[in-house]
A = this chain, B = another copy of it.
Amino acid sequence: MFTLTQFKIGNDIVKLDLPENSHVKSLYEIINNDYLSLKRWLPWVDEIHSIEDERKFIEMARKDTALNKTIVSTILINGKAVGIIDLHNINRKNMRAEIGYWISRDIQGHGIVTESVKRFIEIVFKELNLNKLTIIAESENSKSRAVAERLNFEYEATLKEHLIYNNEFKDYIVYSKFSNR
């Protein structure tokens, strides 16, 4: 019901909405369908075992957004929930935060994430008066890194052996963007 922004890509209407119960079913189906590809990059996927878990996540996302701890928004295409963009580790005092995102695999490749994150960033830079936004991606996650690069985030650092996946240490790449550049 509550909308952050809304725009068109081709003939499709894309909305970034406050998460709500009516998004749960669609998001849970995507997590189920894209399970293997999502869990490669998103550790929380292994904690969603049922539609009830997803319902609880949406409730928590609404609550945390209400309390200004995070800003979570569902990506909807023509009314159907297809992904999430969020702002977390919000540090108002030092004017920085981190951005995360994921979208259904069958919709990838049409620029929806890039355009959605672009508009999301414009809003949060301005509304929260931030100086620096960070995107952190695993070094092997080429799609997520491509989004950061298309949005003109700059490479800032490599955090070595920062994550364990399948008993192997993986590196994180840190990208950042400043409001005044």
* A residues lining the B interface (CB < 8 Å): 1-4, 17-18, 21-22, 43, 59, 62-63, 65-68, 71, 93-96, 123, 127, 131-132, 156-164, 169, 174, 176, 178
Contacts and interface: CB of A to CB of B under 8 A. Distances in A.
A156 B94 CA distance: 22
Given A2-B3, A63-B67, A66-B66, A159 B174 contact: yes
A161 B158 CA distance: 17
Contacts of A178: 161
A96 B18 CA distance: 23
| Interface pairs A-B: 3 shortest CB-CB | A157-B157, A66-B66, A2-B2
Contact of A66 (B17, B62, B96): B62
Count identical subunits in the complex.
6
Contacts of A123: 1
28 contacts: A2-B2, A2-B17, A2-B18, A22-B127, A59-B66, A59-B67, A62-B66, A62-B67, A63-B67, A65-B66, A66-B66, A66-B67, A94-B162, A94-B164, A96-B162, A131-B161, A131-B169, A132-B160, A132-B161, A132-B162, A156-B158, A156-B159, A157-B158, A157-B159, A157-B174, A159-B174, A160-B176, A161-B178
Contacts of A4: 1-3
A160 B94 CA distance: 12
Contacts of A164: 93-95
